[in-house]
Chains A and B, each alone.
Chain A
Amino acid sequence: MLFWENIRLALTSLKSNKMRSLLTMLGIIIGISSVIAIVTVGNSLTATLSDSMLSLGANNITVYLDRKEIKDETTEEGYVFQNTDGVQEVLDEDLITNDMIMEYKEKFPDEVYAVSATNDVLSNGVSSVGKKSAAVNLKGVSAGFFVEKSTKILAGRLFTAKEMLEGRKLALVSEKYVEKIYPSNEDAIGQDIVISGNGKDYTFTIAGVYEKSDSDMGMALLVGSFNSASDVYIPLKTAQDITHQKNYTNVSVVLKSGINPNEFSKETEKFFAGYYRTHRSFTVHAMSLASVTEQLENMMNKLTLGISVIAGIALLVGGIGVMNIMLVSITERTREIGTRKALGAPNSSIRTQFIVEAVVICLIGGLIGVMGGIGLGALAVKLMKGVATPSVSSIVVSLLFSMGIGVFFGYYPANKAAKMDPIEALRYE
């Protein structure tokens, strides 16, 4: 009964000092909204990550060419410098070769399930049929690539081993591509696809249509590149014939189940780095998707911690602001407090009244903060092309926390009001 009356009183008091109340809430609003925003961003990032983990397989290892670290050298005179003599641009002969991959597979038959290699021919080329056109990336891929991506064929078929070996002019296109050009997936099979780019035209026959997976978007988000062009896959050999590149800057390894990708990535790195021991400029690194995810999550956690510290300070300052304004408020309302006491209000009622008022200020600030935080988080996630997933538990915790701040910082002023001497309070000018 008194509860609703107290809330009504608190709202009346807030309404009569709108600007002051808003300024008081500011600290709470900033604190809560930054927490909610960062949790929203973190959540959707984690969701995207685990999505891509699932479909890409956390069991994969990426092996990639990397520049060796240039060590600082010291001259006889004591100058420190970086010797860049002989540091070269990457050439085809520096890249990971088919021979290395063969030897790798032979050395680890129990661990390696497939090795996926790609050869990028063209990115953002154009393929048109009549008036319709679509943007495409042209990619040569090994058989292992389809294993790695667990590619699903919607119409037509995959390349045969023979076709891949011979470097036939066949292509697998995405359903997104078909959508733009043909009425149905089946209509695309057997058609020619002409891709223009780099001043040349490349012609292939469509052998199949594959399903576009969501993880591609997730991956794009992770890598930070995003283009709307769909991938056209051709046999690796065919691509190598076009680009005259026989080797790879990176390959993916699909592991057999039960192999720990983190541990095996170290052995993989050791194996490939063996080829580059004496190389002046380059070496090879290997990492598992799991470790990338771990790194990203670590980074996210650090960011969350940093923002939480800032939010905590904002909330502390906000709480002190609430305490301050409550002290001002009870001083202004000293006569009211005296009157209430004269009319029979027990000390506990006065205390409750002002604690409720502080809690209401904080709760309204918390609500505004939650809404602001969701908006801010959604905006940030949208900029990263993800899907915002505000966390209900963090909202509930935030609101409870704001109420807690209200009780904690409202108690002292409320208790001061409760302990006022009624006569002194009534005489207050």
Chain B
Amino acid sequence: MEETRKKCIEITGVVKKYFIGTPNELAALDGVDIDVYEGEFLAIVGASGSGKSTLMNIIGALDRPTEGGYKLDGLDVTAANDDELSAIRNRKIGFVFQTYNLISKTSALKNVEMPMLYAGVPAKKRVERAKELLNDVGMGDRIKHLPEELSGGQKQRVAIARAMSNDPSIILADEPTGALDSKTGRLVMDIFHRLNKEQHKTVVLITHSPELAEECDRIISLKDGKVTGVRPGSGKAVGE
């Protein structure tokens, strides 16, 4: 069955080394092979320092591997220049961070508009779509609020709306519930499920929580920069 699905992310033998003063070099990723399928909800788990964020940054075209290959939708990302990487991040990827990373002193609406700004979407369309997206995550009544005026869960919902603004095919979430209590974490997790089921977005989720990982289609375990296990999850949200 899996063979009939299309791969959107193909990672082969990726190594990422950090040089913390010669001769010490540290391999944050040490020969990783991962394929991600279109429409898949993938969880990446592992201890702190195992290389999850490093892997995520490479998938998100924020970083280049030291060795190895990475294809995104069949396109060789390792050969792309800075501007091409920017364009990939802008159109194909939606980032959600643990610490939200909303732009301060800037309204929820303006924050959601931002990726569209860099995509050259005209102002009217930007505002329209941003309002729609904020409505979808239940933040329609707080579009004028500044990040400083929102709770953690609300900030993360705005951040998800922002990640969706250019309608990317892949959402990358690095411990999105890590700073939230379990109730708001649940709420955020449900939004990811909804985006995965209803809009068929590929979601790659890094999480510390075993329960949340179990809800995904597949779970990949990392240890010391190596993949130590791949197993299927339930693919269903708790209570579903």
Contacts and interface: CB of A to CB of B under 8 A. Distances in A.
Please indicate which of the listed interface residues A2, A12, A344, A349 has the most CB atoms of chain B within 10 Å of its own CB: A344
Contacts of B122: 1
Nearest to A13: B105
A336 B82 contact: no
Contact of A344 (B102, B123, B166): B166
A232 to B, nearest CB: 73
A423 B104 contact: no
B115 A343 contact: yes
A423 B63 contact: yes
B95 A343 contact: yes
A241 interface: no
A423 B106 contact: no
Size bracket, chain B contacts? 20 to 34
Given A2-B117, A5-B117, A426 B97 contact: yes
A91 B218 CA distance: 118
B63 A347 contact: no
A215 to B, nearest CB: 59
B103 A346 contact: no
A19 B159 CA distance: 31
Contact of A346 (B83, B91, B166): B83
Contacts of B123: 1
Size bracket, chain A contacts? 20 to 34
Given A346-B86, A423-B57, A340 B114 contact: yes
B155 interface: no
B62 A423 contact: yes
Given A1-B122, A335-B101, A339-B103, A344 B115 contact: yes
A344 B82 contact: no
A16 interface: yes
Contacts of B120: 1
Interface in A160-180: none
A100 interface: no
Contacts of B86: 341, 344-347
A299 interface: no
Contact of B162 (A1, A343, A349): A343
Nearest to A15: B105
A4 to B, nearest CB: 8
Contacts of B162: 343
A336 B166 CA distance: 19
Contacts of B104: 336
Contacts of B118: 340, 343-346, 349
A22 interface: no
B103 A344 contact: no
A422 interface: yes
Interface in B100-133: 101-106, 114-115, 117-120, 122-123
A5 B119 CA distance: 13
B95 A342 contact: yes
A2 to B, nearest CB: 7
B164 to A, nearest CB: 12
A342 B95 CA distance: 7
B39 interface: no
Nearest to A347: B82
Contacts of A344: 86-87, 89-91, 115, 118-119, 166
A368 B166 CA distance: 41
B60 interface: yes
Nearest to B84: A346
B90 A343 contact: yes
Please indicate which of the listed interface residues B105, B114, B118, B122 has the most CB atoms of chain A within 10 Å of its own CB: B118
Contacts of A347: 82-83, 86
Contacts of B114: 340, 343
Contact of B105 (A1, A16, A349, A423): A16
Interface string A1-17: 11001000000100010
A148 to B, nearest CB: 70
A422 B56 CA distance: 13
Given A335-B101, A423-B63, A346 B82 contact: yes
Interface string B47-62: 0000000000100101
Please indicate which of the listed interface residues B83, B95, B103, B166 has the most CB atoms of chain A within 10 Å of its own CB: B103
Interface in A384-425: 422-423
Nearest to B162: A343
Contacts of B166: 344
A356 to B, nearest CB: 14
Contact of B103 (A1, A2, A336, A341): A336
Nearest to A345: B118
Contacts of A348: 83
Interface in A237-286: none
Interface of B: 57, 60, 62-63, 82-83, 86-87, 89-91, 95, 97, 101-106, 114-115, 117-120, 122-123, 162, 166
12 contacts: A1-B120, A1-B123, A5-B117, A336-B104, A340-B103, A340-B118, A341-B62, A342-B95, A343-B115, A344-B90, A349-B118, A422-B62
> What are the 4 A-B residue pairs with the smallest beta carbon separation, nearest first?
A344-B90, A346-B86, A339-B101, A344-B89
